[in-house]
Structure 1
Amino acid sequence: MIRSLRAALLASAIFAAPVAAPALAQDNIRIGVEAGPTSLDPHFASLITNIAFARHVFQPLMEQDAKQDLRPAIATSLRAIEPLVWEVKLDPAARFHDGQPVTAEDVAFTLSRAGDVPNSPSSFRYATRPITRVEAVDATTLRLHTAQPTPLLPNFLALVMIVSKKHGEGATTADYNAGRAMIGTGPFRHVSWQPGSPVVMERNPAFHGTAPAFARAEFRPIANAGARVAALQAGDVDLIEIVPPDHFARFRGEPARFSVAESPSNRLIFLTLDSDRVESPFVRAKDGGRIDNPLRDARVRRALSLAINRDAIVSRIMQGQALAAGDLGPPGYFGTSPSMTPPPFDLDQARRLLAEAGLPNGFSIQLNGPNDRYTNDEQVVQAIAQMWTRLGITTTVETKTRSMWLSEAAQLRYSANLAGFSPNPELLGMLETQIHTWDTTLGLGSANRGRFSNREIDAIIQRARTTIDDDQRRALTQQATRMALVDHTALVPLYFQVNTWAMRRGFTYAARTDEMTLAFSAGRAAQ
């Protein structure tokens, strides 16, 4: 079976501070989130935020629980019956909001649409490409045929929401955004949304699963972390996500008014470095003149990594709510290696590597990143720039809002960039998207913003992604990761986030490793 988090990670804290409170009179919940969806179209963008919102109105075949283990959703089971054939048993109780049952036609329509939405900034093609045919066996059984063995298929499809063919055929992204095509099987029904405005939804009384605790949910986008905290303190919202580390400690210390929840995250925060172009847009000689791109040299990339004091970032900027990283996944995650520890902070070795690369006096570079996407992201970028400057690299900083930063990063406008990614649910997901050579034919390297390329590593990744045997796939994954990070510094791992939530007294939240804030994961505290 495909595994997600291993024992070490599963044993980590996923908890809410216990509080006793009287029953709440209200039957709605107001949630302050960092950002709303970029679109209601469940297939428009494979982004955690969009997927989280889509999961309220729609469902996948199998879904991931709070620890990212698979559990039934529209399907009661999804299993490989042959190396190239997966059998899906649909739940006959699953109904779309219009009362129609989910059929093999709906699944086939979804799988043909999900990877082919016009203007998608982050396509689901990686999840649907392996499937060559959907075969209807009977009313509740279908088979997915793949071109090659695809061990991660169930987890890929856990991110693909099933839509109604009746309402989705011919529907555009605009139709979903306007609410006209928002007919799913999920625990909530869509009520209203406009970009930048709250997302409002109401409980689906005919939902075939566990009913949400609240009849109405309102997600209010509050980009500024301080403003989210203030909204919770003022009682304007009941629950907030991504709590600043200092405020998280304060909330935890006031159990009479608030409770908190936290979980280890599988999201790696890292740097992408342009290791492809001969001339990189923001790399120059110290006098401002043109210079051949030094980031193409693995020694330079390694030097930049060694010049970063990860422990200082974790302790001072993240105030302990992070774990320094030397691997693509947190300890215990499938495919990680205990020996892949964070690179040491070693300025002397970094300077020697620069000298070996013919750059004893360094060069100049601009470091880019978001200022509203990850916890303290702008402060992290500023700190790294100072560390690189101490190395002898003249470093300037430019950060932008999430939407602009994401668009420009996708267009490869940066030389060095702060990024984040969550492998799903194995390190292999990270290798396929971030490390493998950018290849539109294979659908690999889709998020490889530094355009790192190594054919030997590619070959190992391709072997791993068709290896069903867990032990063999783990060994291949570890081999590819070590080559990518230790031998070539394909990217620069920094740290893993800790996911945090805070809520008013009387509310609870089941913390998640995948960062999603879901209204149906919220509840009322026991009296």
Structure 2
Amino acid sequence: MASGAPGGAERKPAPVSGSRGSFYSISAAVPRSCAMAQICLDARATFSWRSARPPWPCRDARRAGPAGQERRLRPGSRGAPALPRLRFPRSATFLVLLGLALGLAAPARAQPLTVGVQAPFGIDPHFLFVGPNMAAARHIYDSLINRDPESRMVPGIVQSWQALDETTWELKLRRGVTFQDGSPFTAEDVAFTLARVPEVPNNPGPYTSNLRTLQDVQVVDPYTVRLVTDRPNPTLMGQLTNIFVVSKRAAEGASTADFTSGKAAIGTGPFRLENFRGAEGMSLARNEDYWGEKAAYAQVSLRVIGNDAARIAALLSGDVDLIEDVAPTDAARLEREGQVRVFKRNSDRIMFLIPNVGAETLPLLTDAQGQPLKENPLRDLRVRRALSLAMDRQALAERAMDGQAVATGQMVPQQFAGYDPDFPAPRADLAEARRLLAEAGYPDGFGLTVGCSNNRFVNDGRVCQVVGQMLARLGLQAKVETQPGSVFFPRTVHGKNDLPLMLYGLSLSSSRDPSYILSTSVHTRNVAQAFGQGNRGAFSDPAMDRIIDAAIVRMDEGREAALRSAMHAAIGRFPIIPLYNQVTIAAGRKSVEYTPRMDEQMVAYHAHPAQAAR
């Protein structure tokens, strides 16, 4: 329906001053389906018509009648605005007609964007805390604290935040934000969201680790919320970049199935859900009432294409416009061939080997003759150190990752606080590793299974095979078992994990320092305090816990030094063994620009038509 003056009153074209004359806008009588046209007249009577479609008469132009019916309008008819009477030089008239005939004044509109993603995802933003789910959520919802592609905290639906004291944070909400159903965003939605996160039933990977210190949520007024923690937590705002806000009105009493159906999937994000297709993907439409800069594409489709080669083939054939998780070898080839664009950046993800030290025995551990071991050798510090010394990190980065990784022995990437520039990646030392094995009572080695995903991390299946070869050179009988992430990750949860050794990637954007890894993957598991929820190897050391507890609550200038010291203490115990910092790689058609995120999440909001194609 055409937008018009209140009550259907006729609206005269109003002059709008400009640097070269006056613009007469007639957009009030032109509906969205017949895009805005403008007339420009300057002192020399030159003329231009700006329109996204051919100008008046517009066959699609309609205006609501008194009874809500629509009727066609033409210039000069009742209800249509009177156009100014203009006289033009013949040359100007000729140029106008020629420009209109050739469509020179019509700018190209962005076509729908189709994105090929690697893994299936869900759209309940509080169910299963993994990257694909978070990436999907960022399209429909806003996180409580916004996180940009550099993993920096920036204002979003929370416009500002401050620590009132060591345990109280105050959030000021952005006014005028609405959910995609038109309802207003208020402090009640924030309180409801924070209460819902720990209550999602049957959640195999809860988001509660981000709220482990949260003790109380206080609604001060519709646009002010105070968060009270049970101890100082300097990284709480970073953790809230992982918490997506849902509408209390739409989600109260809703199940994960209600989100999957779309009934409760109402957010404030840059896109609204049109259709969720389960393991196939979802269709989105631009949120025209988004509080921030509007998305460049009006329609977006996320299509799940799990096979790397199939994703690239879809891009090269034009079936999709943008893909994620391009293998390093493929990226080099695509760059050489020049048919598409390749987008790269260092990510925040460190890849680790995680030994299963919690179990006293494991069925997939054997002696050198293949007989079950009565004791778990991975519980011995000397054995874990030998595993680390067997890893040629430089070879993993340069060969298994085709140079698209940075070898490391630390728990944080180079860009984050706590990184120690004086601690280089350890070099492989097989002689020392074999000595340690013999000292621990395994001179002939032992047998173990290394478990990995084969479709979640960059080159994960290939890296896993190389890790197995390195363990074999140490003298271990290593068996490599790779599985799709949908099978591998549930297998590694607490109480079900039967794998002696795992290849796993951990992301750090929520803290930008070692505190997240230390508290979730090294600290002893404590469900009540939400510690150790990512501790898949079931490592437990009370002395290490005390070091972590003291470091992560520091809010003074000594915080970074304390975290660095805690990281070194953890590295020396080998609960997790850092290998390399991976690079995130995406690729798109020549018509697409994309800014990769440090957290590796593929988000269509960061895509727009390439400059040359605009």
Could you tell me which amino acid in structure 1 is paired with residue 169 of structure 2? W
Match of 1:465 in 2: 552
1:417 and 1:263 map into 2 onto residues whose CA distance is 25
2:250 and 2:273 map into 1 onto residues whose CA distance is 14
Match of 1:429 in 2: 516
Q: CA deviation at 1:24?
A: 5.7
Q: CA deviation at 1:515?
A: 0.1
Match of 1:33 among 71, 94, 117: 117
- Check if 1:388 corresponds to 2:461: no
Could you tell me which amino acid in structure 1 is paired with residue 565 of structure 2? Q
Q: Is the 8 A contact 1:29 1:217 kept in 2?
A: yes
Q: CA deviation at 1:288?
A: 2.1
Give the direction of change, closer, same or farther, for the CA distance of 1:81–1:371 in structure 2 (3 Å limit).
Answer: same
Q: Is the 8 A contact 1:245 1:318 kept in 2?
A: yes
- Cα-Cα RMSD: 1.4
Match of 2:46 in 1: none
Could you tell me which amino acid in structure 1 is paired with residue 550 of structure 2? R
Q: CA deviation at 1:253?
A: 3.0
Q: Is the 8 A contact 2:141 2:244 kept in 1?
A: yes
Q: Is the 8 A contact 2:110 2:296 kept in 1?
A: no
1:211 and 1:25 map into 2 onto residues whose CA distance is 14
1:286 and 1:355 map into 2 onto residues whose CA distance is 13
Q: CA deviation at 1:137?
A: 2.0
Match of 1:239 in 2: 322
Q: CA deviation at 1:23?
A: 7.5
Match of 1:453 in 2: 540
Q: Is the 8 A contact 1:68 1:513 kept in 2?
A: yes
Larger Cα-atom Rg = 2
Q: CA deviation at 1:128?
A: 2.3
Match of 1:192 in 2: 275
1:92 and 1:64 map into 2 onto residues whose CA distance is 19
Match of 1:444 among 528, 531, 541: 531
- Check if 1:117 corresponds to 2:200: yes
Moved over 6 A (4+): none
- Check if 1:479 corresponds to 2:565: yes
Give the direction of change, closer, same or farther, for the CA distance of 1:280–1:24 in structure 2 (3 Å limit).
Answer: farther
Q: CA deviation at 1:254?
A: 4.2
Q: Is the 8 A contact 2:110 2:298 kept in 1?
A: no
- Check if 1:280 corresponds to 2:365: no
Match of 1:515 in 2: 600
Q: CA deviation at 1:194?
A: 2.4
Aligned residue runs from structure 1 range 255-334, under 5 A? 255=338, 257-291=339-373, 292-334=375-417
SS at match of 2:553: coil
SS at match of 1:95: coil
Moved more, 203-212 or 409-418: 409-418
Residue by residue, what CA displacement relative to the aligned partner does 1:185-229 show, whole Å, maximum 9, x if unpaired? Answer: 111000111221121100011111110000011011111111111
Could you tell me which amino acid in structure 2 is paired with residue 468 of structure 1? M
Q: CA deviation at 1:25?
A: 5.0
Q: CA deviation at 1:276?
A: 2.1
Match of 1:337 among 410, 417, 420: 420
Aligned residue runs from structure 1 range 66-145, under 5 A? 66-145=149-228
After TM superposition, the score normalised by the length of structure 2 is 0.80
1:455 and 1:214 map into 2 onto residues whose CA distance is 52
Match of 1:420 in 2: 505
Match of 2:454 among 361, 371, 380: 371
1:290 and 1:30 map into 2 onto residues whose CA distance is 51
Residue by residue, what CA displacement relative to the aligned partner does 1:226-260 show, whole Å, maximum 9, x if unpaired? Answer: 111111111110001111212212322344x3212
1:128 and 1:204 map into 2 onto residues whose CA distance is 29
Q: CA deviation at 1:269?
A: 0.8
Q: Is the 8 A contact 1:369 1:399 kept in 2?
A: yes
Could you tell me which amino acid in structure 1 is paired with residue 305 of structure 2? I
2:279 and 2:520 map into 1 onto residues whose CA distance is 29
Match of 2:241 in 1: 158
Could you tell me which amino acid in structure 1 is paired with residue 369 of structure 2? D
Q: Is the 8 A contact 2:354 2:537 kept in 1?
A: yes
SS at match of 1:300: helix
1:235 and 1:156 map into 2 onto residues whose CA distance is 38
Moved more, 302-311 or 135-144: 135-144
Give the direction of change, closer, same or farther, for the CA distance of 1:294–1:125 in structure 2 (3 Å limit).
Answer: same
Q: Is the 8 A contact 2:212 2:531 kept in 1?
A: no
Moved more, 48-57 or 132-141: 132-141
Residue by residue, what CA displacement relative to the aligned partner does 1:450-472 show, whole Å, maximum 9, x if unpaired? Answer: 11111111111111221112x32
Q: CA deviation at 1:94?
A: 1.1
- Check if 1:64 corresponds to 2:140: no
Q: CA deviation at 1:175?
A: 0.2
1:184 and 1:380 map into 2 onto residues whose CA distance is 38
Residue by residue, what CA displacement relative to the aligned partner does 1:115-171 show, whole Å, maximum 9, x if unpaired? Answer: 221111111111223222222222211211111111111011111011111111100
Q: Is the 8 A contact 2:126 2:197 kept in 1?
A: yes
Between the aligned residues of both structures, percent identity stands at 39
Aligned length: 502
Aligned residue runs from structure 1 range 165-204, under 5 A? 165-204=248-287
Could you tell me which amino acid in structure 2 is paired with residue 259 of structure 1? R
SS at match of 1:109: helix
Match of 1:505 in 2: 590
Q: Is the 8 A contact 1:62 1:78 kept in 2?
A: no
Could you tell me which amino acid in structure 1 is paired with residue 358 of structure 2? D
After TM superposition, the score normalised by the length of structure 1 is 0.93
In structure 1, list runs of 5 or more residues that go unmatched.
Answer: 1-21
1:128 and 1:332 map into 2 onto residues whose CA distance is 25
In structure 2, list runs of 5 or more residues that go unmatched.
Answer: 1-105
1:129 and 1:106 map into 2 onto residues whose CA distance is 20
2:378 and 2:327 map into 1 onto residues whose CA distance is 33
